[in-house]
Amino acid sequence: QKEVEQNSGPLSVPEGAIASLNCTYSDRGSQSFFWYRQYSGKSPELIMFIYSNGDKEDGRFTAQLNKASQYVSLLIRDSQPSDSATYLCAVNGPGGYNKLIFGAGTRLAVHP
Amino acid sequence: DADVTQTPRNRITKTGKRIMLECSQTKGHDRMYWYRQDPGLGLQLIYYSFDVKDINKGEISDGYSVSRQAQAKFSLSLESAIPNQTALYFCATSDGTVGTEAFFGQGTRLTVV
């Protein structure tokens, strides 16, 4: 079992819709959870991080964390074509090293 | 100037050659990382370093070595490059605080022929 799992997609949504991206992780000791966006050939850039159970909202983005189910998600409201990218889920494990383990990413395509 | 700088940005090398990828950062972070990215596989951790005296293997360290020359510099070497090491390589830094993000360099596209 991979430490961080995501559906590879592609996830295709129409412009203006809600895109829902999901991620599960295997290490119950994980403390922090990140969503990165990566455009093709570019470096990842942070969208959101979350470390408490529940929801965290930032503009059109909402991260949701459920530690009991070892599940973290990202909702993108009012999706725009510019949101088309690969979304990487990353988990920061215990131990103090801040070692980030990434999922394989979900490719999102927002069509007009 | 970028906070995390990788050189070179692109490199084509021959099988069996030794190659070094360099990373420098101006963020003052202690922790530095090297990741490899292949299509459809996300980012795989090669090596990471807590400080200049601390080097740790990641998920896929075979065939790679690293050197932490200073707090700001972390180099990745391929001792004898092989074609399946063709990939996009990223260096990243963080300050280690829980919840703190990692900051990435612009990537090095390496092709081994």
pLDDT digits (tens, 9 = 90+) for B19-78: 999 999 999 998 999 999 998 778 999 999 988 899 999 989 999 999 999 999 999 999
Torsion of CA B11, B15, B16, B17, to 10 degrees: -20
Would the pLDDT of B3 be above 60? yes
Residue A59 CB partners (closer than 8 Å, separation 6+): none
- pLDDT tens readout for residues A42-94: 999 999 999 899 999 999 999 999 999 999 999 999 999 999 999 999 998 66
Residue A38 CB partners (closer than 8 Å, separation 6+): A44, A45, A85, A86, A87, A88, A105
What six digits make up the tokens of A74? 């990202």
Q: What is the distance between the alpha carbons of residues B16 and B21, in angstroms, rounded to a whole number?
A: 16
Q: Is A56 on the interface with B (CB under 8 A)?
A: no
Chain B residues with CB under 8 Å of A103 CB are 42
Mutate to test the interface with B, among A1, A102, A106 (most CBs of B within 10 A): A102
Would the pLDDT of B109 be above 80? yes
CB spacing of A43 vs B97 below 8 angstroms: no
Helix, strand or coil, per DSSP, at residue B83: helix
Q: How confident is the model at residue B1 (pLDDT cuts 50, 70, 90)?
A: low
